[in-house]
């Protein structure tokens, strides 16, 4: 028993000693800094031979891409704000916009009409539920749930 205790203490001490992190000093980092500076100087002198863009060209590309993406986001934001303004005006005066065309989606094999703002026009009352399945051999074979699929929550206007 004493031997087992001694082995456990010795093993835990070895593990604790191995887990100590090495201290990194500036002198250790100097050799990596020198290698990095040498590679950067080599890149600057040989970028044309290697077919790579120069740092100035990279900076110009990055600036051009930044400007293009800023213009595109500004344009898309303006289009979205204009669309929202038209939708709110149409909602106020009660006009159904052309963009409110329903999307036909299959839910458990049934066609469901989904409108962008969950709007279902008048005249489309409740549809009866038909359990999914098929007829074969003179019998109806159910393939799905006997209960109607319902949404988890309903967004009220």
pLDDT of 93: 73
The tally of domains found in the chain comes to: 1
- For residue 135, the SS3 value is strand
Largest CA distance in the chain: 90
- Residue 123 lies inside a defined structural domain of this protein: yes
Any domain includes 77:
no
Residue 117 lies in a domain: yes
Q: Is residue 129 a part of any domain in this protein?
A: yes
Query: Is 57 a domain residue?
Result: no
Q: Judge whether 22 lies within some domain.
A: no
Q: Is residue 114 part of a domain?
A: yes
Q: How many CA atoms lie within 13 A of 151 on its CB side?
A: 7
d(CA 113, CA 119): 10
Q: What is the DSSP letter of 30?
A: H
Residue range of the domain that includes 126: 103-142
pLDDT of residue 121: 42
pTM strictly above 0.85: no
Q: Can you read off the two tokens belonging to residue 135?
A: 């007829």
| Domain membership flag for residue 108 | yes
Tens-digit pLDDT profile for the chain (157 aa)?
888 888 888 888 878 777 777 777 888 888 888 888 988 888 878 877 777 788 788 889 999 999 999 999 999 999 999 988 888 887 777 665 555 566 666 666 666 666 665 544 434 555 666 777 888 888 888 887 767 667 777 777 6
SS3 for 44-97 is HHHCCCCCCCCHHHHHHHHHHHHHHHHHHHHHHHHHHHHHHHHHHHHHHHCCCC
């Amino acid at each position: 028993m004493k031997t087992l205790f001694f082995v456990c203490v010795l093993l835990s001490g070895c593990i604790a000693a191995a887990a100590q992190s090495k201290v990194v000093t500036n002198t250790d980092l100097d050799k990596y800094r020198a290698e990095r500076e040498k590679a950067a100087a080599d890149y600057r002198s040989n970028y044309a031979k290697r077919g790579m863009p120069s740092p100035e060209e990279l900076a110009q590309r990055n600036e051009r891409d930044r400007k293009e993406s800023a213009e595109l986001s500004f344009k898309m934001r303006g289009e979205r704000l204009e669309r929202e303004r038209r939708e709110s005006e149409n909602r106020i005066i009660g006009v159904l916009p052309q963009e409110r065309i329903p999307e036909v989606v299959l839910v458990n094999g049934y066609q469901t009409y989904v409108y962008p703002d969950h709007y279902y026009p008048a005249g489309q009352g409740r549809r009866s539920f038909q359990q999914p399945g098929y007829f074969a051999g003179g019998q109806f074979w159910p393939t799905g749930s006997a209960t109607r699929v319902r949404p988890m929550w309903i967004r009220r206007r």
